[in-house]
Amino acid sequence: MNILHLMSQTHLTGPEMYVADLCKHQMQDGHQCLIVSDTLNIQTDIEYIPMSIHNRRIPNRIKNILKLIKLCKQKDIDVIHAHSRAASWLANIVQHFTGVTFVSTVHGKQSVHRSSQRANIYGKYIIVVCDYLVDHLRKDLKITNAKIKVVRNGIS
């Protein structure tokens, strides 16, 4: 399987470590992984493509959507795994144009405002790192149309 891990970050974060470890295990299982993010601060053999995911200006978002659609086709991507709100927003749109399945991992509490309660940008399949986040997504963000699974962060 070809998996694109999509993040929005400009400095080293826990999700970056999570993604690197997840990719290592996925590649050991025979999958191909690719990381797309603003930055990648750790050393890894995983293919990395820099893209300004955190920049939410409309022209940048359109450019990112077009680049991601092209990348999904070029790399024959089977799954986009989004690891941030901005990444999930993009993946949610890209999947409509490509048919590529996407899954989101929510690594922490999300901002709650009217727009985040109107639409589920995280998709049909959501991974959370603790039980608290299941309640947070269901009650605070009103996400009821998704399958949410707890996968706790491990130490490898």
**Residue-averaged pLDDT of the chain:** 91
Is there a domain that residue 155 lies in? no
Is there a domain that residue 18 lies in? yes
Looking at residue 156, what is its pLDDT?
Answer: 47
Alpha-carbon distance of 141 to 114, in angstroms, equals 9
**How many domains are contained in the chain?**
1
Mean pLDDT of all residues in 88-111? 92
- In the chain, the percentage of residues whose pLDDT exceeds 70 is 94
> Please, which pLDDT band fits residue 120 given cuts at 50, 70 and 90?
confident
Q: Tokens 């998996």 — which residue?
A: 3
Contact present, 83 and 107 (Cβ < 8 Å): yes
Residue 46: domain span:
2-150
CATH code, domain with 44? 3.40.50.2000
Is there a domain that residue 156 lies in? no
DSSP state of 135: H
Alpha-carbon distance of 64 to 3, in angstroms, equals 17
